[in-house]
Amino acid sequence: MEKLKKQNSRRITKKFNQDGFVVIKDLVPGEVTKKATSEIKSILDIEAKRNLNEEVRRRGQFDEHIVKLFRLDEEYRGRLYEVLQDMNSLYQYATCKSIIDISNELGVRAPNIRNVGVRIDIPGEDEYLQPLHQDVNSMRTENCLNFWVPIQKVGPENGALRVFKGSHEIGPIHAEKKELNKDGYESIPKRFVEEYEEIHCTIEPGDAVIFHPYLVHGSETNRSDKVRWTVIVRYDDATQMDWLRDGENPYTSLRKDDAN
Ligand SMILES: O=C(O)CCC(=O)C(=O)O
């Protein structure tokens, strides 16, 4: 058993180092996902009762009101979105043993939570899609990991993550080589990744895509009729912040827009 575990962890590390990402099956326990969906439901049900006069149904779909709520008005949408980012169930992902263990296996000794949040992709909406980019926002060490963990199955129809296999080897692409797209998101020109294979990650709930901060990746439109929810956790290795003394984070110059 131990030998098998060791072989598996060697395989994962090798794949991660080669490809810049690795897909892990069943990484997140079902109860963590369940906590998140029930917290989402309790917030949305009350908002729907208050703002849409909807009945609260115990057995209803966890996110049945989100589209109507988001369409009420833009400012309300922004505030509700922020509240959902602060759900305490998201921290259960960030502190989940299986995720911490695999971070350690991949060489992050002290996984320091850089950020944890949830993406909410409404069917057919394009303006919040992430164009091709690297995850250098607020990066505090080079030894950092991103976990992309959808709450439901994700495939080509509801916006699978696009990753360019092996593109992490390009290293950090500097801000001046990037463009801003029409929605103000930092975008890496396609010519940087022409020689890399593009993969659309199809995964089940509880599975995770773990990727390197320099992996070039981006969003796809959700063309299904259901909302796509994805928890994203990012860690930096707190044992590798050698810039703390002088306070000059060398990674801030990698970003062109003002996202954090
Ligand atoms: O989920 C997505 O569509 C994109 C997520 C992403 O690009 C990121 O987490 O950096």
Evaluate: CB of 119 within 6 angstroms of ligand 1: yes
pLDDT at 253: 77
The more confidently predicted of residues 124 and 252 is 124
pLDDT at 254: 76
Q: Could you count the other beta carbons within 10 Å of the beta carbon of residue 168?
A: 24
133 CA distance to ligand 1 centroid (A)?
9
2 CA distance to ligand 1 centroid (A)?
34
Nearest CA to ligand 1 atom 7: 218
- Rounded distance between C-alpha atoms, residue 140 and residue 35, angstroms: 30
Ligand 1 pocket: which of 115, 219, 227 to mutate (most atoms within 8 A of CB): 219
For residue 130, give every residue at least 6 positions away whose Cβ sits within 8 Å of its Cβ, in sequence order, or none. Answer: 185, 217, 218, 219
Ligand 1 pocket: which of 161, 220, 233 to mutate (most atoms within 8 A of CB): 161
Identify whether the C-beta of residue 36 lies closer than 8 Å to the C-beta of residue 30. Answer: no
Evaluate: CB of 212 within 6 angstroms of ligand 1: no
Evaluate: CB of 115 within 6 angstroms of ligand 1: no
Q: Which fold does the domain 7-254 belong to in CATH?
A: Jelly Rolls (2.60.120)
228: pLDDT strictly greater than 70? yes
Query: Which pLDDT tens digit goes with each residue over 60-81?
Result: 899 999 999 999 999 999 999 9
Percentage of the residues of the chain whose pLDDT score is greater than 90? 82
Q: State how far Cα 231 lies from the chain centre.
A: 6
148 CA distance to ligand 1 centroid (A)?
7
157: pLDDT strictly greater than 60? yes
Q: Atom of ligand 1 at shortest distance to CA of 119?
A: 1
**pTM confidence score:** 0.94
- Rounded distance between C-alpha atoms, residue 260 and residue 254, angstroms: 12
Evaluate: CB of 232 within 6 angstroms of ligand 1: yes
Instruction: Give the mean model confidence (pLDDT) for residues 108-137.
Output: 94
pLDDT at 255: 66
Nearest CA to ligand 1 atom 3: 219
User: H or E segment at 104?
Assistant: helix 97-105
Evaluate: CB of 230 within 6 angstroms of ligand 1: yes
Query: Which pLDDT tens digit goes with each residue over 189-216?
Result: 999 999 999 999 999 999 999 999 999 9
pLDDT at 256: 59
Q: How confident is the model at residue 260 (pLDDT cuts 50, 70, 90)?
A: very low
4: pLDDT strictly greater than 90? no
The more confidently predicted of residues 150 and 260 is 150
